[in-house]
Amino acid sequence: MSSEKQARGSMSILFLVVLIDMIGFTLVIPFLTYFIQDLAQGDGFSDVGARDRWVGIVLAAYTFGQFIFTPILGTLSDRIGRRPIILFGLVSNTIFLISFGLSGSLWFALIVRFLAGAGNGNIAVARAYVGDISTPGETAGRMGMIGAAFGLGFMIGPFIGGVLTDPATTIGGIFDTTWWAAHPYFLPCLFAGSLSATSFICALTYLPESLPIDARAKVDDGAPKGLNRVIKNLVGVRDLSAPVRRLILVNALFLLSFTMMHATFILFTGMAVIDGGLGYDAYQNGLIFAYVGLVGVIVQGGLIRPLVKRFNPRNLMIIGILVCGLGLGWIPYLEPTPFAIGLVAMTCIAVGNGLFQPTQNTLLTFEARAQNLDLGRVMGSQEGFGALSRVIGPVFAGFVWAETVDGTGFWTYHTVFRICGIIMVIAAIAQIGLKLTPNVEEE
């Protein structure tokens, strides 16, 4: 088999691995809020605020596990190869996705989600795998394939999660039993775990190692590894140029606001209409998030290239922040009907995110090169602060929601979404004050 043909085969398996990873990660979105609410009530948290606070905590547990262990797994893949770490991640996915569906207490669910995040460094290692097997001219296109799998998984996962939730009621037939009625969230987790097991068999059979043994020896060069490297990147951001620091800050603020919405969106949509919510179930929420994924794929996969060619990336970045912020701030003012109005707000969020992410990364790359900075170090700092935002956002949002959901006057369930909008405005203001190196925006 020629090396080119082997590389194409490896990319196909890698695409499948990342796709299934994202399906497994996003499949829980439509029902996780309801699941944690049920577990919290079962553990004695009858107060609405105290119960809902756990949603943010459990959401953050996964990203916290990733924050700590992904750099460790990445370093380990440098030493023993990419393939063993990818296989380990698929086994971890299989075990902990199925275990999560069987959770009978909050603490078990919390631990399982943390371990799921800790064991899954596959997306980061997959990118390293692409770098191993690609020439500079091939890298961008193949990284685009990984991004496409990421977006496709975000579109498919929530839809499947919504459809398969509570099969005793929604599907019936063989699922119309007492056991399935008592475990309404197990089927989507079983489905995701089965997909991951299938992906493991494919990778075990067809995915070769990408990092030669002699290349592994060169990796251990005395530089900080694992979590030490993340900490060094976080602390070392102060030594980067002011424009680069500003771009990293804007990205961290954007992600903070975005993940706050993720933690509380279904708390709002699932709230009873009489209490000001929308009364949606897991299926309806699954449709909404699938729609967000679809719009994201369209924007990032088809529209962003012609837009960047025609318009200044910096202006597109500002528009993305403001449009996304508009959608976030709009959420608590939605009504149960018409459903289409809710989709307009979610379109703003998806389009804004689709405009922001690629333009921000483009500007950061160009600025780092213009300043002769090490791109790996710059991207490492951005990823470190982004990971912190993804950990802090859900917890902060959960506590704000818990303190205001039963409030009156200004401090109500609207508060957390208003804060999301305010953070986006702050990010836009910070970006407006950004002074880039001359000609960066024209590259």
Chain segment 212-232, per-residue pLDDT in tens: 776 665 545 555 555 566 676
Superfamily of domain 229-443: MFS general substrate transporter like domains (1.20.1250.20)
pLDDT band with cut points at 50, 70 and 90 for residue 336: confident
User: What does the buried/exposed string (b/e) look like for 148-163 if buried means 16 or more CB atoms within 10 Å of the residue's CB?
Assistant: bbbbbbbbbbbbbbbb
The answer to whether the 1-208 and 229-443 domains have the same CATH topology is yes
Chain segment 297-320, per-residue pLDDT in tens: 888 777 877 887 888 888 888 999
Mean pLDDT across the chain: 83
Chain segment 139-187, per-residue pLDDT in tens: 656 666 776 777 788 888 888 988 999 999 888 889 999 999 999 999 9
Q: Residues 68, 227: contact at Cβ < 8 Å?
A: yes
Q: Which pTM was predicted?
A: 0.81
pLDDT band with cut points at 50, 70 and 90 for residue 337: confident
Give the C-alpha separation, 135 to 155, whole Å. Answer: 30
Question: What is the residue type of 40?
Answer: A
Token pair recorded at residue 267: 């708390």
pLDDT band with cut points at 50, 70 and 90 for residue 1: very low
Give the C-alpha separation, 225 to 75, whole Å. Answer: 6
Q: Where are the domains of the chain?
A: 1-208, 229-443
Chain segment 347-383, per-residue pLDDT in tens: 999 999 888 888 887 788 778 778 777 666 676 677 7
Helix crossing, 339-370 with 282-298: angle to 10°? 40
Give the C-alpha separation, 184 to 329, whole Å. Answer: 32
Give the C-alpha separation, 153 to 158, whole Å. Answer: 9
Token pair recorded at residue 11: 């990319």
C-alpha 25: how far from its chain's center?
A: 8
Q: Residues 161, 284: contact at Cβ < 8 Å?
A: no
Give the C-alpha separation, 90 to 87, whole Å. Answer: 5
For residue 359, give the 3-state DSSP assignment: helix
What CATH number should be reported for the domain whose range is 1-208? 1.20.1250.20
pLDDT band with cut points at 50, 70 and 90 for residue 397: very high
Chain segment 63-115, per-residue pLDDT in tens: 888 888 877 777 777 778 888 888 888 899 899 999 999 998 999 999 999 99
